[in-house]
Structure 1
Amino acid sequence: MTTLLSHKRALTLAAIVPLALGVAACKKADNGATSSTPTVAAPTTPPAGKQWSDVIVPTAEGGLVMGNPAAPVKLVEYGSLSCPHCAKLAQDGMEKIVGTYVKSGKVSYEFRSFAIHPQDVPLTVLVRCAPTEASFGLIEQVFANFDAMEKRSEAGFPQAQAAQNQPPAQRMITVADALGYTEFFSARGLSVDQQHKCLADTAAAAKVAKESEAISSKGIDSTPTVFVNGNKVGSTEWTDVDKALQAAGAV
């Protein structure tokens, strides 16, 4: 499990992509971390021509809900896009979560991006740069290709670190380019120009930081932190998350 700012590279990148996270707020997580109310009315069947896994709805807290908004079992993950443990959970469980549970209409899956490392900011901004219906797929792609992305970002780290003296709007662009993020997302449908426009929007980065402060204020200080119907799963292993889903009625 990855805790706030525990990643060596993140400590150095903090000077490049500054965050105002409340890292001292390590209170016990409560059961108030239930899935958000979606911003659209909850249908009883998928839209025509779609499966529940095609239905992606943003929430007021910055999360993305995949599936039936009225699903009786609600899976909520606070995850970091640069967290290896989050990647492992996705690699082990995403196929069943989406292909079995979400598609059945019994489970909705909400991912809330928790920027515990500064590189999570450009990653989250770029995921949100895509149309909403494509954003969840990009999260899946980041985790599925996690090791390759890490290797590529290591190669560009010196260049990214040198960006710390640039103006904030340019700094995010330079970091994302150097770490290979723009290259990664351009191969998945986002043009470089589109990405640069999103990265230059300092308000978008500030929003990610503010949302992460709100998560931290709940006492959540590590990723992945997973809740099933408001009950915290005391493990990051997919087998344990799966057991919690089944106990809640996913099958």
Structure 2
Amino acid sequence: MKLRFLAVAALTIVAAAPADAAQAPRRQAAAPAAPAQTDWMNRVTLTPQGGFQRGNPAAKVKLVEFASFTCSHCAAFQAESRDGLGALIRSGQVSLELRNAIRDRFDLAAALLARCQGPGGFFRAADAIFANQPEWLSRASYFPEPTESASMADALTSIARGIGLDKIAAPDLPAARVAACIASAPEQSRLARMRDEAWNELRIPGTPAFLLNGTLVADAASWQALEPAVRAALK
């Protein structure tokens, strides 16, 4: 009888085990990972006006910069606004569209080269052109005037190669592609329209000049001068 009692007790314990396990707290499922935040610095589109817009197309503050690659103030703005303006663009609060306000043949050659790689490569090329501006502009000052018989495309291609702009703006592109970009009639037309808009229609005082949500900002050729207006528009 004693052995039977032990056997029954053992069965009771074994039978109770599943019930106890059912009452144990369940392990909580892992929380779903938060969606990755969009880095709007990587969103670049070609606008109907011909410029390249970086950032959220639906940003609360839309900046348009009229810039010239031969303008030292434009190069300075590019460097000094990199962190502050870059953070606002990255967050999606501000977008920046760069439109070329062409001033001379060297500027035109640089703009055509920057645009050669489309939206995905434009700002990378523009940054390189501005960062190396003292180097290639010093060579430009000694570059001869084109001959009367040279076509505009030939003259601009000669400039790009002669002062090293092709190696700065488009180091990975073959020479034939660079020449084709410089000779592109549609790109030359876009640049001509932006030039006329800047200098003849809006009558900007110089470069860089800025539209903030469609309104020309006065006396704001530096990030230090422009930033308060941008911050105020964000409120």
State the TM bucket, normalised to the shorter chain: 0.7 to 0.9
Q: The residue matched to 1:219 in structure 2 has which SS?
A: coil
How far, CA to CA, are the matches of 2:119 and 2:186 in structure 1?
18
Letter in 2 for 1:246: R
How far, CA to CA, are the matches of 1:101 and 1:87 in structure 2?
19
Q: Assess, with a 3 A threshold, how the Cα gap between structure 1 residues 57 and 51 changes in structure 2: closer, same or farther.
A: same
Shift, 1:126, TM fit:
0.9
Unpaired segments of 5 or more residues in structure 1?
A: 1-47
> Could you tell me whether the CA contact under 8 Å between 2:69 and 2:130 is conserved in 1?
yes
Shift, 1:212, TM fit:
1.0
Shift, 1:185, TM fit:
2.3
Greater CA deviation, 169-178 or 108-117? 169-178
Match of 1:51 in 2: 39
Given the alignment, which residue of 48, 61, 64 partners 1:60? 48
Match of 1:73 in 2: 61
Identical columns (%): 27
How far, CA to CA, are the matches of 1:49 and 1:122 in structure 2?
37
Given the alignment, which residue of 99, 108, 116 partners 1:121? 108
Shift, 1:130, TM fit:
0.5
> Could you tell me whether the CA contact under 8 Å between 1:168 and 1:202 is conserved in 2?
no
Match of 1:136 in 2: 123
Whether 2:78 is the aligned partner of 1:94: answer: no
How far, CA to CA, are the matches of 2:175 and 2:128 in structure 1?
18
Match of 1:104 in 2: 91
Residues 111-165 of structure 1 show CA distances to partners (whole Å, capped at 9, x for unaligned) of 111112232211111111103111112112211222122223335x12xx24443
Residues 96-117 of structure 1 show CA distances to partners (whole Å, capped at 9, x for unaligned) of 212x111111011111111122
CA RMSD of aligned residues (A): 2.2
Q: Assess, with a 3 A threshold, how the Cα gap between structure 1 residues 163 and 180 changes in structure 2: closer, same or farther.
A: farther
Q: The residue matched to 1:119 in structure 2 has which SS?
A: helix
Shift, 1:82, TM fit:
1.1
How far, CA to CA, are the matches of 1:51 and 1:166 in structure 2?
45
Whose radius of gyration is greater, 1 or 2?
Answer: 2
How far, CA to CA, are the matches of 2:54 and 2:37 in structure 1?
16
Letter in 1 for 2:54: M
Given the alignment, which residue of 178, 199, 210 partners 1:195? 178
Match of 1:213 in 2: 196
Residues 74-95 of structure 1 show CA distances to partners (whole Å, capped at 9, x for unaligned) of 1111111111111111111123
How far, CA to CA, are the matches of 2:63 and 2:76 in structure 1?
17
Q: The residue matched to 1:94 in structure 2 has which SS?
A: coil
Shift, 1:207, TM fit:
3.1
Match of 1:246 in 2: 231
Higher helix fraction: Structure 1 or Structure 2? Answer: 2
How far, CA to CA, are the matches of 2:189 and 2:167 in structure 1?
23
How far, CA to CA, are the matches of 1:101 and 1:233 in structure 2?
21
How far, CA to CA, are the matches of 1:76 and 1:58 in structure 2?
13
Q: The residue matched to 1:57 in structure 2 has which SS?
A: strand
Shift, 1:196, TM fit:
1.0
Counting matched residue pairs gives 199
Match of 1:228 in 2: 212
Higher relative contact order (CA 8 A, sep 6+): 1
Q: The residue matched to 2:58 in structure 1 has which SS?
A: coil
